[in-house]
Chain A
Amino acid sequence: MKGALTTVPIIKELDIVGARQSGRNLARDLGFGSVDQARIATAISELARNIYLYAGSGEISFQEVQGASPVGLKIVASDHGPGIENVSKVMEDGYSTSGGLGAGLPGVKRLMDEFDIISDDNGTKIIVVKWLR
């Protein structure tokens, strides 16, 4: 079991739940505990919700990756929406429209071990990894 695991299209709101479920199952299979499973699911929610809200549609795909720590779960959220204009701004705490501490993309960054955004007029790709400890 290595490489691409599965891809979940995000078109309607209920797909967010589907993506969470897939991510949680994969995380459990890879050996992640309850806390990490919940964190991974929360990160997927945020990413999928952003696709649903700001890009209309897109997908979340999952990969198993090998690295310094034996195994990790890589999640790629991609869409062909309008893109994020100012990524640095969005990554500032307190920027999220939903307000509240810990919300939005800065929250995703905290939940995961690795975090990367590539965004332009053609869409947004957010890549996150959680390593098994």
Chain B
Amino acid sequence: MSSTKSDIKQYQDLLKQYLDTKDEVVLYQAEQLSKEIKQDVSPDEIIDEHYNTLLKLIPDMDSQIKDSFEFLIQTMTSYALAYKEYHELRTKQLELKAEIEVAANMQNTLLSTSIPQVDGLDIGATSIPAKLMNGDYYHFVQDDEGNVGVAIADVIGKGIPAAFFMSMIKYAMESFPENRMYPKVILELLNRVVERNVESGMFVTMFYGLYDVQRQLFYYATAGHEPGFIYRAQEDQFKEIDAKGLLLGVKKEVKYNQYVDEIHDGDLIVLLTDGVTECRSGDRFIEREEVLDVIKENKHLPAQDIVDNVYKYLERLQNFTLRDDFTLIVMKRSS
């Protein structure tokens, strides 16, 4: 608890000036001084300086007033301590934040995936964390025949532990062979990986899809993941992807059902996490229909623009503070 002596000296000069002149300029200077000294000088020290200056200016000061200053200084001691601790905590907090930012950047690098370039299938994807670390994840792979595998997942739980867990899932997926792997097989394998780490208390929802580029078929299976949608261009409406399956990590040997849909020209496959459908604007939950309407309005645009526009729309509705991680993928068939 040391103070900058020169700042305190300035306090004395300003106080004297003010008592002489009552000039607003001096008050303004005092305000500027308080901005400069606030980190190094604690409240009790300022009062002490005030007291000492007054003692010089008013040598015959009433003893009751003197005593009252002692009383005030004692009262301010705890404030001074709280003030000091606050500054130390703030420094620590900034250090922690910087450290988490490094971790978040590392996570971005570790989990990065590139969107496959495929003739006739336009893909857009985005994943934005609510806090620094992302508990959502998406991943694309292309097998040796050019078919596109897509995973979208959400760790139940947020923040740093969730992010750690995602890295594990990603590395498990990367260890799979490069030839065609069907969604149900992938989920069954991943379920074992997650189940083996069950003591971590983490569960994961995942949707896995495989787009057959030759036959325009979309195979998929879900592990308790938020249902996505298929936009049918012919009917101009969305159909919820109706699939069921247990979350990853709940049980040891789980068999997943696999489904298949034909995808026609102009159709959109929409995959998302609950951060998209469960966002709120004030007290109001945003209806899924509202999200789908925005997609529909943008359907003529490239897939990445659709995704970005939906994000911008929901971000604004939520006053620019996301409550949950947001991940959205749009796959658009165009010939």
Contact of A34 among B48, B78, B86 (CB under 8 A): B48
Alpha-carbon distance between A39 and B45 when the two chains are bound, in angstroms = 11
- A35 CB–B CB distance under 8 Å: yes
CB pair A101 B82 closer than 8 Å? yes
- B1 CB–A CB distance under 8 Å: yes
Contact of A42 among B77, B83, B85 (CB under 8 A): B77
Stretch among A57-65, A69-77, A104-112 lining the B interface: A104-112
- A102 CB–B CB distance under 8 Å: yes
- B57 CB–A CB distance under 8 Å: no
User: Which chain A residue shows the least CB distance to B71?
Assistant: A38
CB pair A42 B51 closer than 8 Å? no
Query: What's the interface size class on B, roughly?
Result: 20 to 34
Alpha-carbon distance between A103 and B77 when the two chains are bound, in angstroms = 11
Question: Known contacts being A101-B81, A101-B82, A110-B1, is A34 close to B69, with CB within 8 Å?
Answer: yes
Contact of A35 among B44, B78, B82 (CB under 8 A): B44
Residues of B close to A100: CB separation below 8 A: 82
CB pair A102 B74 closer than 8 Å? no
- B84 CB–A CB distance under 8 Å: yes
Residues of A close to B51: CB separation below 8 A: 34
Question: Known contacts being A34-B48, A35-B44, is A101 close to B86, with CB within 8 Å?
Answer: yes
Residues of B close to A42: CB separation below 8 A: 74, 77-78, 81
CB pair B85 A41 closer than 8 Å? no
The interface bits of chain B over 141-174 (1 if a CB of A lies within 8 angstroms of the residue's CB, else 0) are: 0000000000000000000000000000000000
CB pair A102 B82 closer than 8 Å? yes
Question: Known contacts being A38-B74, A42-B77, A110-B1, is A102 close to B84, with CB within 8 Å?
Answer: yes
CB pair A39 B82 closer than 8 Å? no
Residues 17-59 (chain A) with a chain B CB within 8 angstroms: 33-35, 38-39, 41-42
- A93 CB–B CB distance under 8 Å: yes
The interface bits of chain B over 69-111 (1 if a CB of A lies within 8 angstroms of the residue's CB, else 0) are: 1100110111111111110110000000000000000000000
CB pair B85 A102 closer than 8 Å? yes
CB pair A38 B89 closer than 8 Å? no
Question: Known contacts being A33-B48, A107-B81, is A38 close to B73, with CB within 8 Å?
Answer: yes
Provide 7 A-B residue pairs closer than 8 Å at the C-beta atoms, listed in order of the A residue. Answer: A34-B69, A39-B1, A39-B77, A93-B85, A102-B79, A102-B81, A102-B82
> Nearest 7 pairs between A and B by C-beta?
A102-B81, A101-B82, A102-B82, A38-B74, A35-B48, A42-B77, A38-B77
A interface residue numbers (CB < 8 A to B): 33-35, 38-39, 41-42, 93, 100-103, 106-107, 110-111
B interface residue numbers (CB < 8 A to A): 1, 44-45, 48, 51, 69-70, 73-74, 76-86, 88-89
